[in-house]
Amino acid sequence: MTNSSVIVTGGAGFIGSNLVEALSKDNSVIVLDNLHTGSRDNISGPEKSGVKFLKKDAKNIGEIKDRVSCIYHLGFYSASPMYRENPHLVAEVIDGMISVLELARKNDCPVVFSSTSSIYNGIKPPHREDVIPGVTDYYTEGRIEAERLSELYYKLYGMNVSAMRFFSVYGFHEDAKHGYANLATQFMKAMIKKEQPVIYGDGTQRRDFVFVTDVVDAVLNASKSKGFEVYNVGSGVNYSLNDLVDKINNLLGSSISAKYIEMPVKNYVMETLADTTKASRKLGFKAKVDLDSGLRTLARYYGVK
pLDDT digits (tens, 9 = 90+) for 189-212: 999 999 999 999 999 999 999 999
Separation CA 17–CA 215 (nearest Å): 12
State the pTM of this model: 0.96
Give the closest residue to 229 by CA, choosing from 218, 213, 217: 218
- The 10s digit of each residue's pLDDT in 207-227 is 999 999 999 999 999 999 999
5-169+211-236+274-283 and 172-206+238-273+291-301, same CATH topology: no
User: Going along 25-66, which residue ranges are E strands?
Assistant: 28-32, 52-54
| Torsion 195-197-200-202 (CA) sign | negative
Give the closest residue to 44 by CA, choosing from 168, 176, 219: 176
The CATH number, out of the four listed (3.30.365.10, 3.30.1360.180, 3.30.465.10, 3.90.25.10), of the domain defined by the range 172-206+238-273+291-301: 3.90.25.10
pLDDT tier, 1 (very low <50, low <70, confident <90, very high otherwise)? very low
Where exactly are the structural domains of the chain? 5-169+211-236+274-283, 172-206+238-273+291-301
Burial environment of residue 22 by CB neighbours within 10 A (0 to 12, 13 to 18, 19 or more): middle
Mean pLDDT is lowest, of 41-45, 84-88, 175-179, for 175-179
Q: Which fold has domain 5-169+211-236+274-283?
A: Rossmann fold (3.40.50)
The stretch 178-187 carries a mean pLDDT of: 95
| Residues in CB range of 46: below 8 A, 6 or more apart | 17, 20, 21, 24, 29
